[in-house]
Structure 1
Amino acid sequence: MGGDLGGDRVTEAVADAVTVLRKAVDRDWGAVRAGRVEWNCLETAEHIAGDLIAYAGQLAGRAQDAYVPFDIHFEDGTDAEGALQVIETAGTLLAATIRATPREVRAFHPHPFRSANRVGFAAMGVAEVVLHTYDIAEGLGLAYEPPAHLPEYVLTRIFPAVQPGPDAWRTLLWATGRGELPGRAPRTEWRWSNNLVLPTERLTLQGVTPAAAADLATGGDGGFAWVEDGPFEGTREAAAMTTKAYEAGVHRPEFGLFALVRREDGRAVGGMGFHGAPDEDGCAEVGYDLAESARGNGYATEALHTLSDWALARDDVRSLCATIEPDNAASQRVIARAGFNRASVEQEQAYGESEPGLRLYIRTTRTD
């Protein structure tokens, strides 16, 4: 995915927004309310700049527990042209920071899993620019619509549970309470969602976004640095399942695919995750695979322990299950070491009606 082009997307979003808003620099932005938000246009511009610089600060400072304690404000008497200059400056700083930030770095952001990587901060930066430019433009009576790939960039990275529509911009406006979509109820509350990361001793399990899944499913790297013989076929198949679920509007990112990334070198060694959200009985099915060069090191067992403990700590999960081919002894050893037990004959027979010939393993308790 070429570094995900996050810095370029921020730069493009800012340049496009400034071009549109500069048409109204002769207006008093402080006297005009910005669309549906509670601020006037000048305050909204200040908010855009403040978020861009705050995101740059989080990444540059590698903040882990809270926002870096600083903020920016326009000087008294700042007019519309001055506001746009600050937005351009803040956008340049965020884009440069994204480009200079290594792939594996994460920094604090509160929603929903308390961290984001450079891709997440880029998507949040683009979202702040395009959405609040829309608000300002609406207040000033200007026509504004960003290039279609910008809202698509945002949706596929930080709105993983929002079903895509035929028009990415209208979908993003609806997802953030700014418009209507046929067949969908209006939204009054919303939050974006950065990918979930679960740490183990030697790995991180990194949630695969819809954008990364689509890339993996079509032969790309999904934005990860893989070991030489990765990803394995099963990971690409799971990525295709994730893409299908996203397009159908049933994707739950916490019950999707995770890339297993080695801490020592930042290399992805395999994939692990769920076949979907828990069923009506609270059962979620897990699956996994590793690149051949990474096998025999206990990575799958270590990751499966962590993922299983995390899932079984949730209120909506009562059990986990996995199905394995009878002749796959290596996978059977992994599942046993991760605390799963062979299902009863009755359970296996019931499951086998849809998956004949597979062995069923179940786990119902945490190990920590």
Structure 2
Amino acid sequence: MRAMSGDQVEAAVAHCAGTLRRALDRDWDAVNAAGLEWSCRTTAFHIAEDFTAYASRLAGRARHRLPLGITLPEGTDNAGLLQVIEATGALLAAAVRTAPPGERAFHPAQFGSADREGFAAMGVAEALLHTHDIARGLGLVHEPPAGLVASVLGWLFPHVQPGAEPWPTLLWATGRGELPGRAPVTDWTWYNNLVVPAGRLTLTGIRPAVADDLRMGGTGGLDWIGGGPHEITRQTSAALLKAYEAGVHRPEFGSFALVRNEDGRAVGGINFHGAPDEERRVEIGYDLLAGARGNGYATEALRALTEWALARDDVDTVVVAIKRDNLPSQRVASRAGFLRATVDEERLARTEYDLDAGLLLYVRRS
């Protein structure tokens, strides 16, 4: 899975233009895009509208929808419309390239905002999917590069199990096709990564594409203090990717990088050990790089993620398991509002949840 950048936006725009240029002599108003109530012309203009919206929100760090739109002069032909798609795509690519790392702007799916990589991925998705709709309506062959499609899945569809081929999987995930062994999709969305404010930190959700890079020894596109993430972060990233490949990953209950607000550098990681169980219970683990310890960062991160979880309807209890000799981590849990579990609670955890005998259980409830 590639990183998402202005390069990928340009590649998607080039593929879109190359496909649609083969039908410039057709009447795009007279034919509906496949699966849509829009004409092929309206759908093509929608691609340019999305590029414009994404570029302006990201460039302006918008916190809400902007009162901004574009129009086509009367008499604009298909070639002119295609130029508009290419020009607005270039604007989005430029906005992605110039946005600082970690900057976010409004987008409703799924957690209210997106970073530059998210806007790039959404632009690519809009171009590839709506070119598909137009191409089917006009009877054109449309097969985007598999690597580009795989990246869209890894950045925007963390809840979708990868299929044998990326393009049929993306079409299925967006209600545009069938996939053997999977039920038809009638209602769909994509996910940008969740971010949770945590005092001096921002807990930045790790996408499958980022987890893949981290588990392979990369930085995940983050600027880590001390030369790189903790080994635990790499291990949790491998577990996240395994869950993604199995189709059981829930992005809101995944892993997060602890990013320091003052300089944008990552100082550690925090993660859920999975989605809530039948008892509405989740477990959290965390790690902090040596150069960031002793500053209260772990306490702020644990408190913020715990309070985010307990504010949900599907979580009543958050637990943390800590080694008996890890006194600093035990103090972190206590400062974050956790209480040491009772003897009976620990006994139950050892029998029902395989809590290791060398671990102590800390609990916080709603």
- So what's the TM-score if we normalise by structure 2? 0.97
**Partner of residue 36, structure 1:** 35
Q: Corresponding residue for 1:118? A: 116
Q: Secondary structure at the match of 1:225?
A: coil
Amino acid at match of 1:363: R
- Give, in whole Å, the separation in 2 of the partners of 1:305 and 1:150: 38
Residue among 184, 188, 196 paired with 1:186: 184
Q: Does 1:195 align with 2:193?
A: yes
Are the equivalent residues in 1 in contact too, given 2:9–2:124 (CA < 8 A)?
yes
Quote how far apart the aligned CAs of 1:355 are. Answer: 2.8
CA RMSD of aligned residues (A): 1.2
Correspondences of 1:104-253 after superposition (within 5 Å)? 104-253=102-251
Pick one of 260, 278, 292 that aligns with 2:276.
278
> Take 2:228 and 2:162, find their aligned partners in 1: how far apart are those partners?
29
Write out per-residue CA displacement over residues 312-354 of structure 1, whole angstroms, 9 at most, x where no aligned residue: 0101001011111111111111111111111111221222242
Gaps of 5+ in 2: none
1:206 aligns to what SS in structure 2? Answer: strand
Q: Residue 5 of structure 1: CA displacement?
A: 4.3
2:296 — aligned with what? 298
Distance 1:228 1:26 in 2: 58
**Deviates further, 352-361 or 156-165:** 352-361
Aligned amino acid, residue 207 of structure 1: G
Amino acid at match of 1:84: L
Other structure's SS at 1:362 match: strand
SS of residue matched to 1:271: strand
How far apart, CA to CA, are the structure 1 residues paired with 2:360 and 2:259? Answer: 28
Maintained 8 Å contact 2:175/2:187: yes
Distance in 2 (alpha carbons) for counterparts of 1:89 and 1:151: 22
Deviation larger for 284-293 or 217-226: 217-226
Q: Tell me by how many angstroms 1:41 deviates.
A: 0.6
Tell me, what secondary structure is at the counterpart of 1:30? coil
- Letter of the 1:33 counterpart: N
Moved runs in structure 1, 4+ residues, more than 6 A?
none
Q: Is the 8 A contact 2:4 2:121 kept in 1?
A: no
| Residue 85 of structure 1: how far off its partner (Å) | 0.6
Q: Does 1:53 align with 2:52?
A: yes
Q: Describe the SS at the equivalent of 1:122.
A: helix
Which residue of the partner structure matches residue 356 of structure 1?
Answer: 356
TM-score computed with the length of structure 1 as normaliser: 0.97
Map Cα deviations across residues 270-325 of structure 1 (whole Å, 9 max, x no partner).
Answer: 00010000000000010000111001100000111111111001010010111111
**Matched-pair identity in %:** 60
Letter in 2 for 1:356: D
- The Cα shift of 1:114 comes to 1.1
**Residue number among 64, 79, 97 corresponding to 2:77 in the alignment:** 79
Task: Tell me if the contact between 2:171 and 2:177 (Cα under 8 Å) persists in the aligned partners.
Answer: yes
Describe the shift of the 1:5–1:176 C-alpha distance in structure 2 as closer, same or farther (beyond 3 A). closer
SS of 2:109's equivalent?
A: coil
Inter-partner Cα distance in structure 2 for 1:330 and 1:24: 66
User: Partners of 1:361 and 1:180 in 2: how far apart?
Assistant: 46
The amino acid across from 1:244 in the alignment is K
Secondary structure class of the residue paired with 2:226: coil
Aligned partner of 1:6 in structure 2 is 5
Deviations 1:50-88 (A, max 9, x none): 000110000111101x12211112221222111111100
Query: Using the alignment, how far apart are the partners of 2:356 and 2:211 within structure 1?
Result: 28
Q: Match for 2:37: what amino acid?
A: E
Question: For 1:70 and 1:132, how far apart are their aligned partners in 2?
Answer: 22
Q: Give unmatched runs, 5+ long, in structure 1.
A: none
Count of aligned positions = 363
